[in-house]
Chain A
């Protein structure tokens, strides 16, 4: 799990996922 500092009361987490033969960095923004 990758995280970035909480800004504007918004959380941002990410995970690098393989999709078939490619790599997607899924980044999710959610409210704190």
Chain B
């Protein structure tokens, strides 16, 4: 390649600009500070952690689910620490209304409106628990089957996580507010 004329304008570098502003006397407002460039990296956790007594945690979750109008399957004796939730997703009505009143879209397909989530309590160590949330598919309030029979869940290649993420924020808010 021949010599390239591409360059970075030295006076546009923040440190040099600030020095030039100070030396040129153009600075009237001296308490303008640069944005912090070191961003604290987001620390991620699985689910939400709790140090409360396990049964209290489960109780708070059931109360929050009830306040949010969700329903759940009666837990089995041997598995008290898992809650199978079903949640009517309001967004779907909106979509149904947008596309057609009887909650069918143009190609006459059902728009499932019951989002299923599995909430499970895990013990990480003594007095340290983790509440895990897992998406568990959709159901239709009319009971009609949802997943098109010819597609296995492995083959599904376009899945929207937003309804699941939205409902978990609602639940986490409810738990945060209640606690």
List chain A positions with a Cβ less than 8 A from chain B.
1-6, 11-15, 17-21, 26, 28, 30, 32
Partner of A1, one of B158, B168, B173, B176: B168
Distance in angstroms between the alpha carbons of A3 and B42 in the assembled complex: 10
Task: Tell whether, in the assembled complex, residue A14 and residue B47 are in contact, meaning their CB atoms are under 8 Å apart.
Answer: no
Q: How many A-B residue pairs have CB under 8 A?
A: 59
In the complex, residue of chain A having the shortest beta-carbon distance to the beta carbon of B135? A15
Task: Tell whether, in the assembled complex, residue A13 and residue B165 are in contact, meaning their CB atoms are under 8 Å apart.
Answer: yes
The 9 closest A-B pairs by CB, nearest first: A1-B133, A28-B165, A30-B169, A20-B157, A15-B161, A26-B161, A2-B44, A17-B161, A4-B42
A11-B172, A13-B172, A17-B161 given as contacts; is B166 within 8 A of A3 (CB)? Answer: no
Interface residues on B, range: 20 to 34
A–B pairs, 20, beta carbons within 8 Å: A1-B47, A1-B134, A2-B45, A3-B45, A3-B46, A4-B43, A5-B43, A11-B169, A13-B168, A13-B169, A15-B135, A18-B157, A19-B158, A20-B157, A26-B162, A26-B165, A28-B165, A28-B169, A30-B166, A32-B173
Task: Tell whether, in the assembled complex, residue B47 and residue A32 are in contact, meaning their CB atoms are under 8 Å apart.
Answer: no
Interface of B is mostly: mixed
Which chain B residues lie closer than 8 Å to A21 at the CB level? 157
Which chain A residues lie closer than 8 Å to B176 at the CB level? 6, 32
Distance in angstroms between the alpha carbons of A28 and B160 in the assembled complex: 12
Q: B84 to nearest A CB, angstroms?
A: 16
Distance in angstroms between the alpha carbons of A16 and B3 in the assembled complex: 45
Which chain B residues lie closer than 8 Å to A5 at the CB level? 43, 45
Which chain A residues lie closer than 8 Å to B168 at the CB level? 1, 13
Q: A17 to nearest B CB, angstroms?
A: 5
Task: Tell whether, in the assembled complex, residue B44 and residue A14 are in contact, meaning their CB atoms are under 8 Å apart.
Answer: yes
Task: Tell whether, in the assembled complex, residue A28 and residue B162 are in contact, meaning their CB atoms are under 8 Å apart.
Answer: yes
